[in-house]
Amino acid sequence: MKRRNVLAILGSVPLAVSFGAPTRAQDAYPAKPVKILVPFGPGGSTDIISRLVGKQLETVTGKPFVVENKPGATGMIGTTQVKNAAADGHTLLLGSTSTLAANPSLYKQMTYDPSDFTTVAVNGSVGNFMLVNKDGPYRTVKEFVAFAKASKEPLFSGYGNASSRVPSALFEVTSGVKFEEVAYRDAVASIQDLAAGRVHAVFPDQVVGESYVRSGFVRALAVTSAERSALFPDVEAIAETYPGYNIIAFSCFSVRKETPAEIKQRLNRLIMEALYEPTVLERVKQLGFLPPPSDWDIAKCDAFVVREREDWTRYIKLAKIEPQ
C-alpha cells in the first residue's frame, strides 16, 4: 500500500480510537508526591489524623503523602503557605476550627480568607476537655465555680490556639467566673503549666489531653460537648451544669478553591474512603473523633465548615472577645 493511502486511512480514523482517549485530571491525580501541611506542631489531633489518613492514601495511590508541620500565628503561617501554593491538589491543608472557623473573628488582619479554600473532606468532630490540676480542691464544675468565685487571688486560664481559647472565654460568660488569659505556643505547653500550678484551667481538644488525663498528670473536670464523651463516660459535660453550653472542634482537608473540580472530587472520594478503612476508622474513633457519613460529598463538607464558622462567630461575640 502506498504511503499516501496509509495516511489517508489513518486520517479517517477518530483520534480517540487511534491514540486513546485523553487522560482526565482526576485519573492522573496524584501525579507527584502530595504535601499535607499541618499549621500546628506535631502531636495534636490535626497532626495525628493527617498522618493516619496520609498513610492510607499512600497505600491506595502509590504516591507519597508527606506531612509537614508549620506552626505559628494560630495556624495562619501554615494556612497562608497553602493559599500561596499551586492550585493543583498537591498541597493539602489540614484545616481546623482555629484556621477555618474562629480566626476570622479573633483577628482584625488575616493573611488569608477561609473562602480561599474548598473543604473536600471532613475528618470528624470532637469536644474539648476542661482540665484542672490533679490536686485542685474541686471535683465537679459546680465546685470549681464556687472555688473560683470565693478566691481572693486571680485565676488563670491557658490556651494554645483559638479552639482552646474560646471555650474558656465562653465558660467565663456562662458561669460568671473570671480568668486571666495566658497564651502558649501550643496546648501541650499549657497543660504542662497546669500541672505545675501556674494556671488553673485549660480547654484543649480531647486528643491532645487524653494521655495526660489517663496518666493522672492532670484531671479532666468536664467536656465541652453537649453530651459526655464515649471515651470518658465518667467525665461530666459542662452542659449538665449550664444547659446550652456546647462547643466542638473539627478537622478537615481543604485545597485552594481554584483547584480543578475533577481533582477536588477525586480527593473527596480518596479521603472519605481512607477514613472508613477499618483500621483508620477504629483509630479515629479511639481519638474521640466522630466522622461524618462516608457518603458526604464536597458540598456537604464545605457547608459543614461554613456552619461551624457561623457558630464560632456567635460564640466569640457571646464571649465578648475583641479582635486583636
**23, burial (CB in 10 Å: exposed 0-12, middle 13-18, buried 19+):** exposed
- What percent of the chain shows pLDDT beyond 90? 73
Kind and range of the H or E element at 72? none
Q: What is the pLDDT of residue 24?
A: 53
Q: What is the pLDDT of residue 233?
A: 95
Give the mean pLDDT of the chain. 89
Strands 34-38 and 91-96: parallel
- What percent of the chain shows pLDDT beyond 70? 92
pLDDT band at 207 (very low <50, low <70, confident <90, very high): confident
- pLDDT of residue 274 exceeding 80, the answer is yes
- pLDDT of residue 1 exceeding 90, the answer is no
Helices (H), 161-219: 162-175, 187-195, 206-214
Where is pLDDT greater, at 198 or 8? 198
Mean pLDDT calculated for residue range 109-119: 95
pTM of the model: 0.76
Q: Collapse the DSSP code of 234 into the 3-class scheme (helix H, G, I; strand E, B; otherwise coil) and give the result.
A: coil
Residue 88, CB-side half-sphere exposure with 13 Å CA sphere = 12
Where is pLDDT greater, at 160 or 94? 94
Q: What is the pLDDT of residue 27?
A: 62
- pLDDT of residue 162 exceeding 80, the answer is no
Mean pLDDT calculated for residue range 231-244: 96
Strands 219-223 and 129-132: antiparallel
Contacts of 158 (CB under 8 A, 6+ apart): 181, 182, 183, 184, 189, 190, 191, 193, 194, 198, 199, 201, 202
Q: What is the pLDDT of residue 22?
A: 42
Q: What is the pLDDT of residue 44?
A: 75
- pLDDT of residue 223 exceeding 60, the answer is yes
Q: What is the pLDDT of residue 33?
A: 97
Q: How many CB atoms lie within 10 A of CB 107?
A: 15
Strands 219-223 and 117-127: unpaired
- pLDDT of residue 127 exceeding 60, the answer is yes
